[in-house]
Structure formats: structure tokens, C-alpha cells
Structure 1
Amino acid sequence: MAEGHGNAALRRLALGLMAATGFAGLGYQIVWTQQFALWLGHEAAAVMAVVAAFFGGLALGSWLLAGRIERSPRPGWWYAGCEAVIGLWGLALSALMPALGGGLQSLTTLQAAGAQLWAVAFVGCLVLLLPATVAMGASLPAMQRVLSLQAGETPDGRCWAGLYAANTAGAVAGALGAALVLVPAWGLARSAMACAALNLGAALLAWQWYGRAFDLPAAVAREGNARGPLAMLFATGLLGIGYELLVVRVLSQVTEDTVYTFALLLAVYLAGSAAGAQAYRRWSPAAMDDSGQRTTRRLGGALALACLLGASSLWAAEALRDGVTSALLGVADPMSAAVTAEAVLAVAAFAPATVVMGALFSHLCRCAMAQGATSGRCLAVNTLGGALASPLIGVLLLPAVGAKAGLLLLACGYAALGWRSPRSPWAWAPLTGAALAAVLAPALVFIQQPEGGRLAAYREGVSSAVSVVEDAEGVSRLYINNRQQEGSSASWRVDGRQALLPLLLHPAPRHALFLGLGTGVTAATATLDPAVNVQAVELLPEVVELSSLFTAALADQGVELQRLRVHAADARRFVRLSPEHFDLIVADNFHPARSGSGSLYTVEHFQAVRARLADGGLFCQWLPLHQLDLPTLASIVASFQSVFPQARAVLASNSLSTPVLGLVGGTGTLSWQPGQLQRRLAQVPQAAAFGFEDPLALLGSFVAGPSSLRQWAAGAPLNTDDRPVVAYRAPRATYAPQGPPVDRLVAWLGQLDPQTDSLVDRDGDQAWSSRLAAYVKARRHFIAAGRGVPPLADPQAMLARIRDPLMNVLRESPDFRPAYDPLWRLATVVAARDPHAARAVLTELIRLQTARTEAASQLDALGVPP
């Protein structure tokens, strides 16, 4: 009785250890994937290579060490040793990752892409992670050997399924714990240290309870041929991870695609696998009939149907998301409702298939071990199949056939595993379902197409789907994964301003670099300066291709597209590896909540940009306030000013719905002379079409000085590579927007001082400085006035509504053209219907303008009657 209780206690300890190390294993994977992406880039090839290297190390460890463990009289020592190696190597990588990552980055080239980048990333990560991943791959077989012999079972006993279920359940907790708790609170390095502590604790406990207390007999070699089950294990690894990849790609068009989204999807996938393994352990028969082939066929057929069922939920993903969100908004906060909706989508897509996957994996392992294979060999071939899923399915299959055909092919692959006889109706059920879906179901492409609009272009890439949608008015918009708008043909003026504002502030730029392409309008506009060599970097090749649909229309503005050189590469990696120095670097307003974008707002990235600036160079980082909350903005501002202490803030335009802020820093002083700016404007005469008519329009865009910014952002945590504050905080504003963007803009501007006195060089005209102060003050009042003025379709009613607020702005600064222009346009339109009201407005505008004679001639030319 005591011995039975002892065995039960040791079994519970084993399950606890496997759960703890499963938590650590997933925590490592999340941390290491993020760390390597910082150095190798976020290109699809690099990201998939890191995942493949992780899986490859696991497979290698299981393959090489499982046989020795099987022959060892003390497998408990092996388990303790593996956990100790994992923990110690985890601690070593925590300290050495910056140096190792930098060395790995140096092995890549500036133009590395595709197979070349994949090879460097795969081999480099495989070598750097090898000690830990090999030990991870051997730890589960070691514990299975210990537990099966101590329980008096043969090595093909069902305890394997229980250990696998416990380990996978721990991995579920690791996926959620790392994303929701560890990394946001402690950062990447300390999170890895916490995982290392779990491994080292497991090693000590295993040494105490399994290493010394038992001296087990070595395993007896068994006869058998396990090629069939092992081949199926390889196929299920390939198909299972392939299914995960394709489902995640489809759902990225429906979900917000944040770090929380990825954690939820991964957790649900693993939870289903753990549940299936545990169910198999509990309900499978003690003895297998027909060498387990009947159960294999049944589970294979069931898995094919489950994949079809899970895939079918994807067609209803948008409706399901909206329904869950709407149902929960009355009882939960917006973020909880949105995250719950994403969790429901994950359950619908993954739960049916992954439960059967867990059961089938456990059963195939049992079959293989019964025929002489070791548990390590089973794990190795299955993991190897998973490692190959990224290049074969993610890189080759998905772009070639699309997500819909890819998922149906995977279901057919599972159906082949469960094939019995052509006469059996169950053999044909999955194939019939796949054939019907292929013919009747639409493509798994989600595109928000407005009424009367059309899809102008669509490209399915390895990591993202990119589309161009044209509405009924002919306005085209560029989308990534149907969720992230990268610009439109209607915003060309604002996009162009984001290039010209920093470009004109530099006295004599010769080399300019744009990080992020989008529609291409911003970078292309820089070619209006004939003296500037312009380069741009864009992560997605599909965006580079489709940007031509937007930039072609700029030819009428004098843009020379042939002078724009575009690189398809990761911006961080390009900045670190480029041998050039640039007079101007402009970074796009990357969506901070999207996976990977937060790394473009870190202190380390800003330091790399500063190192790439030439003497007197300028750097402008644009920020989308409509996609940010103020605490996240404060972290970005604090991080920027830690590298550029004299940084100032500007506004790209006066937009109230999509305000874009800019942080301007440099290697020199940030003050200007009006005469210098006037000469720059003369060199780019087209700037007037973008609203830069005079130096006041340039310097009047500044809204905050250095000390004001520093005081406002005081106490905000820095966003660093190790502590990615933005990546984990910004999604909150995406899931639960905090009111209209104009409210945040007005609140932010109200706390800042533009410090206009220091904007103008000491040799500048004092009267001009006073005009600048009035101009900046007028801008704030203009924005505040527009906050409560919704647009009206009737020009006469609109003129009546905005006349007094805008006139007051102009009385404060007659130079403020953004208030003058809409009044003049509306008055000229209304002149035919209400000439007296129009003349009153135009006369007042003439009185307020310095160029009274010119305005009077304009009035006469319009023919407005007295």
C-alpha cells in the first residue's frame, strides 16, 4: 500500500515537473523569438527560420539522446541533467543575447532576403539555441522512461500521453503568462531568467526524487518495425503546424493581430492538444487491437472532418467576432469584450481539430513504441515534421494556392491517414466535404469593400495579405491584412507634408532615407527636391509592388519616381547594416499595436538611427495619435528624448480624425533663420501645393519644445528592446479606444509649450518671432474650434457655422492660411446663392490679410456683386 502511495506521489510530481517545464519551454520560445527578431528582422523568412530552428533543435535532441536514455540504468539523472542544461543555457543567453544577436546580424547582408536570410537565421539560431533545445527534446522521453519503469509499466505504456498532456498544459500557461504577465512586467531577459529558475528547480527536485532513489534496470531491446507509425507521426507534425499557420494567417484579417492575439491563438491550440492527449490516456483501451490500426484510421478520419469543421468557422469569423463583441459590451469593458471575441474565434477554429490531434499523436506514439521505437524517436520525427511546416506550407504552399486551398489540402492529408476502404462511406466523407468546399465556398479573403466600391488589387504574401480597395468616389486605400490602412489616394497632400516638412527644415540635404513605404507618396514627394537622393525601406514586398498604384498620380506634381530607390527589407536591420550616412531620416507612423511594430519605437532603434545620421542630420519620427493613448505616447516621447534630448514635436496637418504627430531630433541645433527657410522653399516651389507657402507654415507646425516635452513625459517608462512597453501597452488603445482622437490631441496640446522663442535663431527678426508665436497659438485655437464643428453638406450652412470661429483665429494670426482658405472657398461657392453674405466674409478676409491689394483683385476677378 505504501509503495502504491509512493508511486502515485512520484507520478504526481512528474506531472507537476512536466507542467512547470512546459511553461518554461513556451516562455523561452516567445522570448527568444522576439529577441532574435530584433536582430534578424521581421521578414517572413527570418521569423519562420527562428521557429524552424527551435523545432529542429527539439527534434535533434529527441533523436540523438533518447536511445542513450533508454539504455541508461538511471534515466532520472538524464532528466535532471537536461533541465539543468536548459536553465543554465537560458541564463547564459539572457546575459549574452545582445552580443550574440549582433554577431548573428553581422552575418547577414543589407540585401539579404528569401533563402539567403532564411539560411543565416536558421543555422545561426539553431547553433545558438542548440544546447537548450537539444536538452528540451530529451527531457520528455527521459521522464517517460523514469515514470514507466517506476510504475512497473512497459515503455509503450499510456503514461506517455499523461506526461505529454501535462507538459502541453504547462505550455498553455506559459504562452499566456509570458504575454500577459512576465514580459510586460519584467521584460524579455528577466522573463527568460524566471523560466530558467523553473528548469533549475525541476533539476534539483528530479535529482532528489528520481536520480538517487532508484537504480533502474536498463531497457531490453525489443523487436519490431515502427516505420509506419513513425511516418504518420512525421506527417501529423507537418500537417498540424501547417494547419496552425494557415488558420493564424486567415484570422489575422479579422483580429487585431497584437501580441495578445498571438498568445490567445497559441494557447487555444496547445490547450486542445493537451485535452486530446489526456482524453486518450483516460479512455483508450488497455490493449490495442490490430496493432492500433483501427483506432488510427478512426482518428485520422475524425481529424480530417474536425479540420473541415474548424476551417468552416473561418468563413463566419467576422460575424462571430461582431456578435460576441456586441453581446459582451453591456457587461464587460471594450478590451475584455474584444479579447474574448478573439478567444472565441480561436476556439472555433482550433478546438475541434487540436483535440483530435492530441489524441492521434498519443496513439501513434503508443503504436510506435509497441513496435520497438523509443519515445524520443517518436517525438523527434513529429517535431521534425513541425519544423518543416514553416518553409513548406508557410513559404511555398500558402502564396501558391491561398489559405482556402491550403486548408482543404491539409484536411485531405489527414483523410489519407484515416483511409480504410473505398467502399466505406466514412472514407469518402472528408474528401467529399473538401471537394464541396473547394467548389462552393468563397476564398478565405476578408476585404472591407464599401458599397459601390471595388477591389483594385490583391496580393497574398508569405506573411501578410495586401489589398487596394477603391470606393464609389474613386478613392483608393491600401490595406494590410484587411485591418491596417496604410494610406489612401485622398491623403496625398498630408502624406507629402510628412516628407516636405523635415526635408525643408534641413539646410542642404543630399541623402534621405524613409523607413516604411506605405502608399509610397511620402517618400516619392521627397524627390521634388532635385538635389536629394531618396531611398526607402519597406518590410513587405507586396506593399512595394502595389504602391505604384498611388505614386503614379504624383507625376503631375513634378515627382520623379525613377529617383526613388526602394529596398524590401526590415527597417531596423537596414539601419544597422547600411554603410551610408543620411542627412535626413524619416520614419513612417507605424501602427504601434501591430505585432513587431513596437520595436521601431525603442531606445536602441533610435540610437541606431542617430548613428546613421550625418553631421547636422535630422530625424523625424511620425506617430499616429489616432492609434495611440497618451501613456503610450509618453513612453515613446521619453524614449526618443533619451537619444535626442533637444527633440521637438510637430503636427503633420490639422486633421482632427487622424492627427499625425512628429518628433524631430538631430545631431545639430534645432533653430532656424527665416531667410534660410525661404531659400529652401524657393528650391522646392511645389511645396506651396502642400501648404508650405512661407517659413511661418514650416515653423508654425511645431507644437512643443524640448523642455516642455521632457516635463510632460517625465516618469514614463522607456520603451527598450528588453522592455517592450509599447508592444504590450498600445493594444489597449486598439481594443478600447479612449474617445475621439481630437480629444486626445486637444488634451495633449493643452499641456505643452511650443517654446517658439528658441525656434528662431538668435539673429532672427524679433517681429518675425512674434508673428510665429501668434501663428502657433492660432493653430491651437483652430483645432479646438474644429472639435465641435461637424462637416455639413450645405456650403451655406457650413459657412454660417465656421465663420465666427475661424475669423477669430485669423484675428489672432492673419498669417494662418488653414483658417483663411476654407472661408475663402466656401464664400466663393455661396456667392451665387447669397452674394451679400459672401461679400461680407470676403471683405473681412481682405481686411485681415496683409496683402490687401492682391486680395481685392481676387475679389474683383470673382465677380461677386456689391
Structure 2
Amino acid sequence: MTGRQLGLERALLALFVASGFAGLIYQAIWSHYLGLSLGHAAYAQTLVLAIFMGGMALGAWLVSRRGARWRRLIFAYAVVEVLIGLAGLVFHPLFLAYTDLSQEVVYPALDSVAAVRAWQWGSAALLIAPQSILLGMTFPLMSGGYLRVAPMADGEILGGLYFTNSLGAAFGALFATFVLLPWVGMPGAVATAGVVNLAVGLLAWAVSRRADAQPPGPTAAAPAPTAAGQADAAGNRAGFYRMMLLAALLTGATSFVYEIGWVRMLNQALGTTVHSFELMLAAFILGLAFGGLWVRRRSQRVRDPASYAGHAQVLKGLMALLSIPVFAQSFHWVGLLVNNLPKTEAGYTLFSLGSGGIALAVMFPAAFFAGMTLPLFTMALLRKGAGEASIGRIYAANTLGAILGVFLAVHVLIPAMGLRLAVTLAALVDIALGMWLLMTVVRTTASGRILTLGASSALVVILSLYLGGVDPRSLASGVFRHGNATLAEGSEVHFLRDGKTATVAFVARSTIGIISTNGKPDASIQMLYGGDPTDDEITMAMAAALPLALHPRPDEIANIGWGSGMTTHILLGSELPKRVDSIEIEKAMIDGAANFGTRVGRAYRDPRSVMHIDDARTYFSTGRRRYDVIISEPSNPWVSGVSSLFTKEFYGFLRGHLKQGGMLVQWMQLYELDDELLTTMLAALLSEFPHVQAYTTNGADMLFVASEQPLGELDVDRLTSYEPLKDELSRLGLGNRGDFIVRQVGNRDALLAINALYGAVAHSDFYPTVALQAPKARFMGQSVQSLRTLSYAGLPVLEFTSAIRPAHASDRVTPGSDRAGANEYWIANAVVGALRGESTEHLYALEPQVGQQVALLLELSAKAQLSDSDFDRWLTAAVVASDYSLRFLPPEDHVAAWLEPKWIMASSSGREDLAAVLEAYAATASRDGARMEQAGLAALKELGPRRPPAAREQMLVISILGAIARGDLDRAEAIEREYGGSVPSVSHYGFVRAYLLAWIDVQRQKRQQGQGG
């Protein structure tokens, strides 16, 4: 190769790195875009990939048919790259216009589900097929143009281009997810790829002026004749050509069966996140890249490419078989990572790197040999005189095989035989293909080597089946969450199935039944009648009970996410619903949840229950479905694909499927999430619904009821008028009106104030912040604190800012309930009872530390005189007692505790500071705003800076709340401004103070907008 040719080579290889980089950005981002219109169900995922791969196959085939007539192939390549870049720049606005057209014009005009499906699939194809066709043209154009310059270097060129393009693709996949999406979102990512393609096109045009002008180099010398070559010369060249195309198709199919199988298997160990998926994809592509590099570096020594391809096929299958035992060890490796890495951002980075290493260990060996096959098949055809058209045809056949592999894996092999056997079958096909090539096409391979390969293959199959078995308790362990590579002792896996989209398990742990997807528990139910219900049961039951109690006529209800089936079961315990449509993306979930038996029996048996195996977006798009109630209970938003159900676009979409006066019930978690991520999802909900109420269910989960109309009063009596629903709700501590009141957290104004505190921007389909950041929050063990702090703050903050009144005795909070909300109510009753002179035993049983402080308060209050040190201890105890009682009970329940305290004797000792504090508590207990403002400030002045900061901060908040209760927002803000600087934030009231200022700003904005206070 001349120096000038070497310079051209480097330029072309650099261009192809950039081209591969941009190409994988497109594939990654297009899947996100089309998932928004087609949904994330298995058929939609395979359709997106089929359009992409099919377009590439068509592009390669077109070049194979026409390319030989084109004189300037590198120039043609430059034009194609420019066209791809221009398409990338206009893709986002084009997609927005397409979405508006679909939702506002097309869907309303279509009467049948089939017509909607046809529009979805056809329009999706039109969106990405042109760019996909162009992308498919790049490899054969670049290869053909390069080969015209240096035909002697066929293997170096093909292997080098395959290596550089794949290497760029691997980095493109990682860069898109870890850099572009967090930085510029989906619109910026696809535009960035467009700019890269434009730059590649312009540079390729400059290079083409030299490359296309090069005189053709000397033709490659024919290799020494072989038996196979003599047969070809005798007329079998066409048969050889067809065999290579068939082999390229089959190896493409098996490669994609591997890829999908590996991804699905590793999801159970690494977690189903967008980060883990891209790491796995990059590992697979890197293997392909280095396989191409091997061919590039050794091409001059490859005398018979078909023989090398046959051996590569066998080794590819053997490595795929060995990948299964490697995967079996991955649970222990992930456990080591989770247990030994710090729960910090740096720790998550190391966890991601470790995850990538595990993916490489599983995928790289087989992918390496897969990367060798395409260049070798192409070399074999070129050296048989097939011409440069064979490049495009081999590429097209390989790509068509990939489509076949995807459809077979997702829709046939995995559902029929499971992940492990699907990979095993694909490996056997590869081994058989390799042996067939060696025996039929090459024919010169020694019979001894054939026997050795066959015996080795048989041995590896046995080892793979023996060592590759994974304990179901590991598959269902969710090791990526807690570091335990197997389920706890006493856990039994009763159901385990690899579905089209996820692996579902039903686990019995003592008397608790748990259903999980890819190792992540989605729901748990107490199977023993009379046993304590699980926290999940409270959430699922409330998700059904709230709309039944709030909506006047909940005739038609849709439930997104099957889970255990309990929400649907509770809904059908009432006679009000006429139809309940349950939308679940994975059929195995419904089959697995049947193990909950009678706990969810109505969901399966009641004729009003209709199940739909579909993606939520797709289901609601196909038909003019409108509901009185939509309940959304998807999986956790850190799970890949799920966060798109928590965006402003999706909430607006659901709003369009609600009837007049309809309501949405949205579940959100408080665990494995932080305040910033929760508020961005809340901002999305609030942007689409003017009326929202928030409820806590168990302290770790929230339900948000949203509507375009004001939400009415809870009619719990209507719920409990139906049997056996009354008994079921009573068992869960939800049998009375008070059980729901104590779980109220806030309304729209309160949520807006919290959002303002965190500067929340509404979560968007096109800026998937939650999908990108929630996995890190999960790894770090973060949890939401803002809503918890407001829910448990001991002063009537939510009562004055969110119209959340405390439960009255007539509301009948279920006795003995220790669930969120109810627990605080009963602690407050125990505190007040102790102050009234009742026994403290019950309080000690509920909350020992509070019991100690109340006992200390009573002990100190019995003294005729308090020293300064005793008074400080008294203040600290009083803060605790008031914090656990004032907010949770109405004024009439505070008479003998705070309004007319009989338990204090030291007030007669002349301590004006103590009297001032008691007056502030009395004013708060009576909910007298003017009195609270005055008494709080007086107590604050009496206490002075040397007194316990928590007591001083509590007095400041009382005075601010008093001004708010009077409606004087300016005065409330002025109190914080005047006194706040001298009162440090040492308790949860620091957050409360910030919240109150944010709430005041929200009220002012509403008044400025003419919406009232």
C-alpha cells in the first residue's frame, strides 16, 4: 500500500468511526421516540428494530444492485451521510408534528383497532425507514469505494471498516445515554448525531476528490486452487454464493438471539435500567468490533476465508454456550459490587463500570467471533470473483437475519423455552452452521479436525447445561437492590417464567406472597387469613378505594399495571363499576399473579374484569376509549421504559381519555428516589391537572388523585355498604372515613410549594431525567423527605396551607392500626391521654422515645419551681409532646392537654417564659390565627437565644402560621424576615419554614393570575 493510499485509509477509517458513532445514537434515540407512539410492548420493540434493520438491509441491497455502475462511490457515500444528517436535524420537529396529527386528527377519525394499528406501524416506518435505508447504504458504499483504491487489501479493508464502524457504534451508544440525554435530551441527541453526519459527509466529499480519482490498484491474485475452488470452476459458483448468503443470514439471526437473551438474563442481575441496557449493548458491539479488527490484522494470512468463517461459527457457538455458566456467576459478582461499593455517586460510577465488566464477560467472547463472520463471508465471495456487489448483499442478508433473530427470540423462543435454552439453541445452530461450512463448502478440512470440533461441541453443551443452571432463588433475588445473591431462607419460588418482556417470579416467603419482574418485587400480599397485611396491600386497596369513594359514578375504570391483581379485585368488590379494563404489558405477570388465589379472585373471575396485554400508550390510542377513572400503578420509574408513564405528555394524553369529571389515580414511590426526581414527576402531573390531592398509604408510597374538576368529599360509607368489600377494607385498616383522612397529605397548592422549593421542571418524554437519574438514587438508597416531613410535622402546617383537617372522633379511625397516618393519630391520642393523667403504657408501646419525653415533661411539670437547666429540659420535652399531638387532633381533643393544661404546676412559680410557651401551644391547639401569631412571637422573645433552638424555631413557625391563618401573607413573610435570621434551623422545622415561604409565593402568583387565594 502506497503512502498516499495509507493516508486515504486513515481518513476513511476515521470517517467511519464517526459514522458508526452517529448511527448508534440514532438507533438508541429512535427507540425512545417510537416507544412514545408505538409503546414499549414486545411487538412494538421488535417492530422498531425490524424497521431499522429492514431499512438498512434494503439500503445495502440497493447498493449491491446499483453500486457497481457508480463511478464515484466515496462521493456517493458523502451524499448519503449529508442526507442522513439533514434528516437528523429535522427529526424532532417532524416527530412532534406527526404526534399532533395522530392524536388530534387520525385517531379520532379511525373506528377500528386494526386501522389505528395500521396507522401506527405505517407511520412509524415512514418516520425512520428513509434514514435507515441511507444508513444501510454506508457500509457497502464505503467498502466498495475503498476496495477500488486497494483491491489487494480486501480483508484489511473489510475488517478495518467493520472494526471502526462498530467501535464508533459502541461509543455512540454510551455517549447517547450517559452524556447527550442528560445534557440535551432526545431532541439535542438526535440533532447532535445529525451534525456529526453532516461533518462526516463534508469531510468524505473532500476525501472523495482524492479517493475516487485514484486509479484502480492491481487485482487480488487468485489463491491456490482447492477442491472447493475446482468445484466452483465446474459450475458451482452460484451455489457457493447462495451458501454464503444463507450463512450470513443465519449468523445474523443467532447473534441477535444471543443479544436479546443476554440482555434479558443480565437484567435479572444488573437491574432493568437504561444504563445497564446501554452498557450491555456496548459490550456486545465491542465484541463485534474486535472480531473485525482480528480479520483486518490477519487478512493477508487468510488463504481460505470460508474455512476461517466455518471455524469462527463453531467457536461463536461454543463461546455462547460458555456464556451461560458465566452468567450464572454474575449474581455473586453483582452482590460483591453492591455490598462493597460506597453508596455515593462515585460508588454508582464504579457499579456501572463493574456492570459493564460483567456484561463484557458474558457477551464479548461470542460477539468477538460474530464480528469475524461478516468480513470473512464477504472476503470469501470477493475472492471467488463475486464482485463488489457481494458486499451489499452479504450485509443485507446478515441484517435480514438479525430481523429474523429478533422476532424468533421475542415471540417464539423465549416464551416457549426460556432464555437459557433459547441461547443454547442459537449456539447449536451456529455450531451446526460452522460444521456444515467446513464439511460442505470448504471440504478440505481434515476429518480429524471435524471430529475434534464435534466432540468439543458436545462436551461444551453438556458443561453449559450442567454449570449454567441458575437457582431460581437467585433469578428472583433482585441482587442489584440489596446485594443478596439469593432469596432469604424460607423463600420458595412457586412460579418462574421468561415472558416476552420480562422474567416473572412468584415467591412465597413465610405467609407472604410476592410477585416480581426481573428480580424487583412489584407486589406482596399476606396469604394467611387473619395475618397482618403487607404495606403493598394498603397501597393497592387505597388505589381502588379512593376513586370509588370520590367519584359519584365510577362506571368505567382503566387500571394500568396488573401487579398482583389486587387493585382490580378491590374495585370489583363494589357494584359501582360496570367494567374494569386492566392493561398489563407482560402476560406472564397475569399468569404469575394467579398464585395469589382468592386474595385476588374477582380480578380473574368477575365478568366485568377485562384484561389487555398491551402497552398503556398503545392501548389508549387504539380506539376512542374514555373512562370515569384511570388508575396508574406501573413499576418503579427507574425501570427502563417505565418513566415515560410519569411525564407531562403522558398525563395530558390520559386526560384526553377521561370523561367529564373523570379522575386519575397515580401511584408514586418515596423509596429509592429523591425529592428532586419526585418533584419533577409531580410537576408533570400538576401541569396537566388543576385539582390534585395527595395521600400517603404506608409511609413509603403515595397516591395522587387528579382531576380537571374539583374533587368532592370522601364517601367511605358507600364503600363499606358492599360485602365482602367492607370486611376486606376493615382487615386492612381502611374501613372508616377517618382511615382515609389521616392519610391525607396535601392539595395542589402544597405540592406546588414543594416543587418550587426544588425548582422542579415538569418531567418530559423528551428529557427522560427520571430514567437517567433514578437508578443512581436507587443504588444510593435515597428516599423522599419533603412529603414525609410535612406529613409528620407537629404543627398544623398542612391544615393551614392545604385544608387538611385532623380526624375527629366521629371519623372512627380504626383502633389499633399502626399504619402511616393512623399511627400518628393514635400516638397523638396517647400523648394527650398521658397529659390528661392516663397511663403512659400505651404511649410507650407505640413510640418509646416519645413516651420517655412525655414522662419527663410530666415529672418536671410537677415541680413547684424549675431551675434554668430544668426549664431547658422541660422545653425539649414539650417540643416533642406538642410535635406528636397538636397537628393530629382537633381542638376539642386538646382541652385538658393544651387548652386548659392541668398537668402543669410550675406556671405559678412566676416563669413568664414557660407561661408564654404554654400560651403558644394553647393558641395552636385552638387554631386561633391571631392568637398564634401574637403568642408565638411573645414566647420567642421570652425564650431568648440561649434556650434550646428547637423550641425557639417552633415558636417562630407558630407565629408564621398564625399570620397565614389570618390571611396576612405579607405579615407571615415579614415575621420570617425579621426573626428568622436569629433562629437557626436545627430541626425539621427548617424545611417547614422554607416550605411556608414557597407556599406564600404560590399564593401570590395565583392572586396575580386572578385565580384567587
- For Structure 1 versus Structure 2, the TM-score category normalised by the shorter chain is 0.7 to 0.9
Q: Per-residue deviation at 1:267? A: 0.6
Choose 103-112 or 612-621, whichever is displaced more: 103-112
Q: Distance in 2 between matches of 1:190 and 1:340?
A: 26
Higher RCO, 1 vs 2 (CA within 8 Å, ≥6 residues apart) = 1
**Contact preservation (8 Å) 1:486, 1:518:** yes
Q: Distance in 2 between matches of 1:330 and 1:813?
A: 35
Q: Which of 266, 286, 300 pairs up with 1:251?
A: 266
Tell me the equivalent position of 1:482. Answer: 519
Gaps of 5+ in 1: 787-795, 817-866
Tell me the equivalent position of 2:98. Answer: 100
Q: Distance in 2 between matches of 1:255 and 1:110?
A: 43
Q: Distance in 2 between matches of 1:765 and 1:439?
A: 61
**Contact preservation (8 Å) 1:242, 1:390:** yes
* SS of 2:572 mapped into structure 1: helix
* SS of 1:418 mapped into structure 2: helix
Tell me the equivalent position of 1:128. Answer: 127
Choose 701-710 or 168-177, whichever is displaced more: 701-710
Choose 295-304 or 161-170, whichever is displaced more: 295-304
Tell me the equivalent position of 1:453. Answer: 491
> What does 1:257-276 align with in structure 2 at a 5 Å threshold?
257-276=272-291
Q: Per-residue deviation at 1:346? A: 0.3
Q: Per-residue deviation at 1:607? A: 0.6
Cα pair distance change 1:240/1:112, threshold 3 Å: farther
**Contact preservation (8 Å) 1:70, 1:218:** no
Q: Per-residue deviation at 1:601? A: 0.2
Q: Per-residue deviation at 1:613? A: 1.8
Q: Distance in 1 between matches of 2:295 and 2:654?
A: 54
Q: Which of 194, 198, 201 pairs up with 1:200?
A: 198
Gaps of 5+ in 2: 223-232, 439-445, 478-486, 527-532, 829-840, 855-880, 892-1013
Q: Distance in 1 between matches of 2:605 and 2:165?
A: 59
Tell me the equivalent position of 2:706. Answer: 665
Indicate whether 1:511 and 2:550 are aligned. no
Choose 592-601 or 121-130, whichever is displaced more: 121-130
**Contact preservation (8 Å) 2:694, 2:747:** yes
Cα pair distance change 1:708/1:218, threshold 3 Å: same
Which residue identity does 2:737 align to in structure 1?
P
Q: Distance in 2 between matches of 1:46 and 1:140?
A: 27
Q: Distance in 1 between matches of 2:155 and 2:669?
A: 58
**Contact preservation (8 Å) 2:254, 2:405:** yes
* SS of 1:590 mapped into structure 2: coil
Q: Distance in 2 between matches of 1:577 and 1:388?
A: 27
Q: Distance in 1 between matches of 2:521 and 2:671?
A: 13
**Contact preservation (8 Å) 1:49, 1:121:** no
Cα pair distance change 1:815/1:551, threshold 3 Å: farther
**Contact preservation (8 Å) 1:647, 1:663:** yes
Which residue identity does 2:761 align to in structure 1?
P
Tell me the equivalent position of 1:700. Answer: 742
Tell me the equivalent position of 2:589. Answer: 543
* SS of 1:731 mapped into structure 2: helix
Which residue identity does 1:487 align to in structure 2?
S
Q: Which of 67, 78, 81 pairs up with 1:80?
A: 78
Tell me the equivalent position of 2:87. Answer: 89
Q: Distance in 2 between matches of 1:677 and 1:720?
A: 35
Which residue identity does 2:476 align to in structure 1?
I
Q: Per-residue deviation at 1:66? A: 3.0
Tell me the equivalent position of 1:716. Answer: 760
Tell me the equivalent position of 1:144. Answer: 143
Which residue identity does 1:397 align to in structure 2?
L
Tell me the equivalent position of 2:429. Answer: 413
Residues 116-161 of structure 1: per-residue CA shift (max 9 Å, x gap) = 99987665533432221111111121112222323x3348352121
Q: Per-residue deviation at 1:766? A: 12
Tell me the equivalent position of 2:11. Answer: 13
Cα pair distance change 1:400/1:671, threshold 3 Å: closer
> What does 1:31-70 align with in structure 2 at a 5 Å threshold?
31-70=29-68
Tell me the equivalent position of 2:776. Answer: 732
**Contact preservation (8 Å) 1:746, 1:783:** no
Q: Distance in 2 between matches of 1:270 and 1:484?
A: 31
Which residue identity does 1:182 align to in structure 2?
L
Tell me the equivalent position of 1:380. Answer: 396
Cα pair distance change 1:514/1:801, threshold 3 Å: closer
Q: Which of 576, 580, 591 pairs up with 2:625?
A: 580
**Contact preservation (8 Å) 2:584, 2:613:** yes
Tell me the equivalent position of 1:853. Answer: none
Indicate whether 1:161 and 2:206 are aligned. no
**Contact preservation (8 Å) 1:652, 1:660:** yes
Q: Per-residue deviation at 1:110? A: 10
Q: Distance in 2 between matches of 1:631 and 1:96?
A: 31
* SS of 1:73 mapped into structure 2: coil
Q: Per-residue deviation at 1:614? A: 1.9
Cα pair distance change 1:726/1:708, threshold 3 Å: same
Q: Distance in 1 between matches of 2:507 and 2:740?
A: 33
Q: Distance in 1 between matches of 2:107 and 2:251?
A: 34
* SS of 1:585 mapped into structure 2: strand
Q: Distance in 2 between matches of 1:543 and 1:332?
A: 33
> What does 1:674-685 align with in structure 2 at a 5 Å threshold?
678=717, 682=721, 685=726
Choose 257-266 or 568-577, whichever is displaced more: 568-577
* SS of 1:253 mapped into structure 2: helix
Tell me the equivalent position of 1:30. Answer: 28
Normalised by the size of structure 1, how large is the TM-score?
A: 0.83
**Contact preservation (8 Å) 1:53, 1:122:** no
Q: Per-residue deviation at 1:271? A: 1.0
Q: Per-residue deviation at 1:701? A: 2.0
Indicate whether 1:319 and 2:319 are aligned. no
Tell me the equivalent position of 2:650. Answer: 605
Q: Distance in 2 between matches of 1:75 and 1:547?
A: 58
- Alignment RMSD (CA, Å): 3.7
- The count of residues paired between Structure 1 and Structure 2 equals 784
* SS of 2:489 mapped into structure 1: coil
* SS of 2:653 mapped into structure 1: helix
Residues 481-518 of structure 1: per-residue CA shift (max 9 Å, x gap) = 22243333443344212211232122332222211110
Which residue identity does 1:382 align to in structure 2?
N
Q: Distance in 1 between matches of 2:186 and 2:454?
A: 48
**Contact preservation (8 Å) 1:86, 1:132:** yes
Q: Distance in 2 between matches of 1:43 and 1:440?
A: 32
Choose 92-101 or 704-713, whichever is displaced more: 92-101
Which residue identity does 1:26 align to in structure 2?
L
Tell me the equivalent position of 1:347. Answer: 360
Q: Distance in 1 between matches of 2:332 and 2:807?
A: 62
* SS of 2:695 mapped into structure 1: strand
**Contact preservation (8 Å) 1:700, 1:776:** no
Tell me the equivalent position of 1:630. Answer: 675
Cα pair distance change 1:500/1:107, threshold 3 Å: closer
Cα pair distance change 1:329/1:176, threshold 3 Å: same
Indicate whether 1:435 and 2:434 are aligned. no
Tell me the equivalent position of 1:820. Answer: none
Q: Per-residue deviation at 1:450? A: 3.5
Cα pair distance change 1:120/1:381, threshold 3 Å: farther
Instruction: Find the structure with the greater CA-based Rg.
Output: 2
Which residue identity does 1:361 align to in structure 2?
L
**Contact preservation (8 Å) 2:159, 2:296:** yes
* SS of 1:42 mapped into structure 2: coil
Which residue identity does 2:591 align to in structure 1?
E
Tell me the equivalent position of 1:466. Answer: 504
Q: Distance in 2 between matches of 1:331 and 1:618?
A: 39
Q: Distance in 2 between matches of 1:442 and 1:538?
A: 29
* SS of 1:754 mapped into structure 2: helix
Cα pair distance change 1:117/1:24, threshold 3 Å: farther
Residues 590-632 of structure 1: per-residue CA shift (max 9 Å, x gap) = 3000011000001011011112222222212110111321110
Q: Distance in 1 between matches of 2:12 and 2:826?
A: 64
* Percent of aligned positions that are identical: 26
Q: Distance in 2 between matches of 1:368 and 1:21?
A: 25
